[in-house]
Amino acid sequence: MKPPRFDYVAAGSVGEATEALASAEDSRVLAGGQSLVPLMNLRLARPSLLVDVNHLGALSGFESHNGTLRFGAMCRHRFLETDPDVRQKAPIFAEVAELIGHVGIRNRGTLGGSLAHADPVAELPALLVALEGRVIVASTGSERAIPAAELFAGPFTTGLEPDELLTTVEVPAHRDGDGGAFSEFVRRHGDFATAGVAVILHRDGFGACEQVRVAGCGLGPTPMDLSAAGDFLRGESSLTDGAAEELGRRVAAAADPPGDVHGSKDYRRELAAVLAADAVRRAWARAGSAGGA
């Protein structure tokens, strides 16, 4: 299997990358290549120009700034998984990164690449939706922010224009009382998830729940915002088993999962219920302890 011919530019700066992207039709960004290159090997993708952004060191940093956590788009999954600073300030990213593929994939695959690829079963897009994050994208001479809620337009489709480069991912910094958890089901370790649910919640100083955010992967054509399912938990100061299961039922009812050879619609709904109950229990416990997620 050999990819079709293409032209190649190793960009030395964001400006060079965006200029190159605008210079050809069907240009594509080459980030970690762990989704794009298999598609090219199978000739399902045939870009005319690849713009390699692997040398843009400025896109691989992580910083906490004025209440915002800012990740460079080229942060590799393995970095999210192992970096002490990320593990301390954004432990939910480390938890999610560990779920992605295998170490050889995580050594290359990137945060920005996963978001721009927008696979409906991928974990990081669902996490970005749950965290109400946003991405910064650059094009020749300009820059704009796209909130997570507007980023994912359909399966493998985002709101990015063809000449735009995703450079930065921003999420609100952790506050005391925040807790998050991501639960997913996979048939074999490292496979794409059959379904996954992220729960991010906030408890006030008295332990009462102030906010619940829920998002799922594998439960619809895009990472779905299922937060309305958690509204009934607001004001509660304890999480009973009954409440966790109720959240599961509401998430299952709101989900719109596909049915395929890996599982029927009903099966995925059942999974969503179990995963949401598990994630809310863990998020709740974390929100009640120092460190959170």
Question: Residues in the site for other proteins, rule: CB under 8 A?
Answer: 1-8, 10, 30, 33-34, 37-38, 41-42, 50, 52, 54, 78, 101-105, 107-108, 189-190
Shortest spacing between CB 58 and other proteins, in angstroms = 18
Largest CA distance in the chain: 61
In whole angstroms, what is the distance from residue 213 CA to residue 290 CA? 20
Minimum CB separation from other proteins for residue 6, in Å?
A: 6
Minimum distance, C-beta of residue 114 to other proteins, in the bound complex (Å): 14
Q: Which is nearer to other proteins, 54 or 140 (CB)?
A: 54
- Shortest Å, Cβ 102 to other proteins: 2
Question: Which CB atom, from 70 or from 108, has the smaller least distance to other proteins?
Answer: 108
In the complex, minimum distance from the CB of residue 91 to other proteins, in angstroms, rounded to a whole number:
18
What three-state secondary structure class fits 66? coil
**What is the helix (H) or strand (E) element at residue 248, kind and residue range?**
helix 241-254
Minimum distance of other proteins from residue 268's CB (angstroms): 23
CB of 207 to other proteins, least distance (A): 34
Residue closer to other proteins (CB basis): 51 or 272: 51
DSSP state of 173: P
- Rounded to whole angstroms, what are the CA distances from 128 to 2, 237, 276, 285? 34, 26, 17, 21
Question: Which is closer to other proteins, CB of 17 or CB of 280?
Answer: 17
Nearer to other proteins, 65 or 189 (CB): 189
Look at residues 165, 60, 57, 56 and name the one whose alpha carbon lies nearest to residue 116. 165
Note whether 195 and 279 are within 8 A (CB): no
Specify the residue, 42 or 253, whose C-beta has the smaller distance to other proteins.
42
Distance CA 180, CA 281 (A): 10
Nearer to other proteins, 37 or 136 (CB): 37
Single out the residue of 91, 271, 265 nearest to residue 185, CA to CA: 271
- Residues sharing a CB contact under 8 Å with residue 127, sequence separation 6 or more, in sequence order: 92, 93, 96, 182, 198, 215
Q: Which conformational region is residue 282 in: left (phi greater than 0), alpha (psi within -120 to 50 degrees), or beta? A: alpha
List the beta bridge partners of residue 197.
183, 216
